[in-house]
Chain A
Amino acid sequence: MQDRVVITGYGCLTASGADAAMTWEAILARESGIRQAETWDSSGWPYHLAGEIKDYNPRELVADRKLLKFITRQDVIGLNAVTQAVAHSKIIEHRDGFADPSSFNDRTGVFVGSPATKYRSQHDYLSSLSKAAGDPREFGIRAMEDVHPMWLLRALPNNVLAYAGIQYGFKGANANVTAHGISGSQAIAEACRYLRDGAIDRAIVVGYDSASELEALPYYASVGLLSSRGLKPFDRSRDGTVLGEGAGALFLETRDEAERRSATIYGEVLGSSVVSEAEGVLSVREDGAGVSQAIRSALEDSEKSSDEIGMISAHANGTRVSDASEARAFIDVFGASSIPVTGFKWSLGHTIAASGVIESILTLRCLADGRVPGIPTLEELSPDCEGIRASAVEQKPKSSVGIVVSRAFAGLNSCIVLSTNG
């Protein structure tokens, strides 16, 4: 019998709220954190919407001020979520009871969904390039003078993994998943794998991103993925997504470990999947076959049948093809109008590598509170999404089991199955 994996802590930071409770309240209150981007002067930009963290202040988000020299905005956001989830789990108080915590630390993993490197990390070289005026030798000389010696370390895609480990002394199995929009979900999936394999007893899992960076907006718009009006999942008039910033973190343990320390159990990860449609970087199958395959595979992994599922947290990113193909998959697997479908990106923006973890936390809240929030920007269900039970008004989950669907470039699809039926 494989170990079961339970959730004993969580935390998040989103455009809609500084923690999980605030984010959840904002969504129930039908509030969106999407605004005109303010991190730079976006006035006059045709695509100017973003789900940015409000009142971003790194000194308040990360306790270790010296660390701020070595990390970037996305790392700050990620580490904040880690700190929230670890505190919520009360695991450090538990560890403090051990005379020698070394084997505890060796069996505590760190699993991360990372956005990898950003365009903006290379902006530190613009000044040297300008001065060099096309002379490569001059560029080398200038770069050595102008750029911060720690530049490379600030740019590392695995900083949140490294500093989460250093902050708490966790030394177990780890992975840094760089798979675009499924990174967060896959971090959960891989943590569960190592927990089930018995390689670790507990793990912090985090997905983080600052997807709405300066260059991302025009470039995502160039391939037709952004909306200039707002994110309207499954709506007839939807015309694209909105990028956002955020991070979510879960503390996972084997059920045995959690019960042994009498931890509060917020839910269980029943199973997961990751599959590829194999159609290229930007292509998406219109028939939703990849999403269907991901859902079926996750249900099988969870030993659940489709009629036991009580709600769907859809990817719902507001692009024409993704929403329509996803809707087809839901009908294919569950039948028409059977299960409440919601999504959260209309409020948070698309936080890419963070989205799977943030949406898993919100799904837990849905199941715990028996409330599936409506999608306020869904005014008229699109004909190509007909048959799914997505609604502008709140619904009730049909059971205590929910699924979280995430999608990414490279035709990647992931599904996480969660339960609050402790």
Chain B
Amino acid sequence: MRAAPRRVAVTGIGMVTPLGNDVTSTWNALLGGESGVREIAGFDASGFPTRIAAEVRGLRAEEVVEDRKSLKYATPFSLFALAAAEEAVRDAGVRPTQKTAERWGLVSGSGMMTQEFDFLQRFQREFAADGEIDVARLGAEGERFISSPEFARHRTVAGQALLHKRYGIRGYSANLHTACASGGQALGLAMRVIRSGQADYVLAGGYDTMINPVGLAGFCLLGAISTDNDRPASASRPFDLTRNGFVLGEGAGFMVLEDWQRARDREAKIYAELAGEGNSLSSYRITDSPPSGDGPIQAICGALADAGESAGAIDYVNAHGTSTPMNDLSETNAIKAVFGDRAGDLAVSSTKSQMGHLIAAAGAVEGVICALAIEHSTAPMTTNLRTPDPECDLDYVTEGCRTIQIDVALSNSFGFGGSNSCLIFRSPQRAESRGQ
């Protein structure tokens, strides 16, 4: 006989977002309908068609990382990860010990831009003064040009290494990147790792920034981001008829996930059960899902089946809702396809309307928001939706945050490249009553 599958509890949460550098300030800003989008302050973006973004503000590296040595190995987005992970671990009230270190895992979705712009500029001055690389000179001088911490920082596993070391996590590890689905896929994989017994605790999340001259250039060239420089606060308007691209955000979201029984035994505060994952590939185009919702549909259905819930049980959907013309249509149609007649009654909102698109961190941050929505019986709103799109006609919670009991929440993340991640979070009450 097969033993009852292990269930997964969310026992700690942490966030660094454009709305606040911790969970409380971010949540309060969401409730207040604030926008984190402003003119870019981190560098002079005046030469770009888009000059706005949702930046993290006022996060002081020295306050996040106590030891100076680690700081040398941290890129800006690793720093977001360290801050959000620390909040999650403290919140959970449990951390790896000598005895449990191998039973702890780490799963993260991390950003693609590990090489810093400063380094590229220095490289250009040193080896490509006229724009062409002097190969002979690079061969002769390259070894002395880069420092050891710099080399380490450029590795895709740099943030993963810092987190492992800081907490002494000696068990399972994964670092994923499927663009905007990375954070969601990381939480989903972490859930499976605990279910299978490979770990009892997993620190899981996502972290990213692409708000730098090269990242901004890449999105501007592609025409994927909003150019509403004169009205930053309303530039991200998911599901609005006049939506014209997303707004870049940055930050990190982390959770401590834990075997349910262990969490109960130590009388931990349980925010929610991470109850299901649906993971699919659209295999359509690199930048879009098809208008029919094919791809996202399979991910939503997969998550429901994995959680053992019917579509009728969902109380709230935290949408991917990027504010690009195609995503919001495709997602709306996917929801209609799965929820049928009930689609119109479902509370669906995009918190990207306030904090922009956190790319590889988005799914993890929005997972944390779902846990908070369940805890506070509150669905966050979609701001800036003023001109309804006849093709996007769901209940997007536009009037303000809504007080509703949320027993089951769905979080959608769909990435460039076609990876889709849908997660189901269940209230502790519902999880317990199902467990009887």
Contacts and interface: CB of A to CB of B under 8 A. Distances in A.
Interface of A: 40-42, 44-48, 70, 105-106, 110, 114, 116-117, 119, 122-123, 125-131, 134, 136-144, 147-153, 155-159, 161-162, 165-166, 168-180, 186, 190, 193-194, 196-197, 199, 214-215, 217-223, 273-282, 290, 293, 408-412
A293 B103 CA distance: 12
Contacts of B131: 126-131
Contact of B213 (A70, A140, A179, A278): A140
A134 B129 CA distance: 11
A139 B220 CA distance: 13
Contacts of A110: 281
A165 B418 contact: yes
Contacts of A166: 283-285, 418
Given A137-B44, A144-B217, A155-B218, A214 B135 contact: yes
A151 to B, nearest CB: 6
B189 to A, nearest CB: 7
A276 B281 contact: no
A199 B146 CA distance: 44
A274 B174 contact: yes
12 contacts: A44-B139, A46-B139, A125-B214, A126-B120, A140-B46, A143-B213, A152-B218, A153-B222, A171-B283, A194-B279, A222-B143, A410-B175
B415 to A, nearest CB: 7
B170 A276 contact: yes
B299 to A, nearest CB: 9
Interface residues of B, number: 97
Closest 10 CB pairs of A and B: A140-B47, A218-B142, A152-B218, A45-B139, A410-B161, A130-B131, A127-B131, A162-B417, A165-B283, A136-B44
Interface string B413-436: 001111100000000000000000
Given A178-B156, A222-B144, A129 B124 contact: yes
Given A166-B283, A178-B175, A410-B173, A223 B112 contact: no
Given A150-B222, A278-B167, 4 more contacts: A196-B196, A220-B151, A275-B172, A290-B170
B327 interface: no
B280 A148 contact: no
B102 A148 contact: no
Nearest to A126: B128
B382 interface: no
A412 B160 CA distance: 10
Contact of B295 (A44, A171, A222): A171
A175 to B, nearest CB: 6
A278 B157 contact: no
B233 to A, nearest CB: 23
A136 B139 contact: no
Interface in B323-346: none
A125 to B, nearest CB: 6
A162 B171 contact: no
B255 to A, nearest CB: 18
Contact of A171 (B148, B174, B281): B281
A190 B283 contact: no
Contacts of A134: 121
A277 B425 CA distance: 32
A155 B177 CA distance: 13
Contacts of B3: none
A218 B143 contact: yes
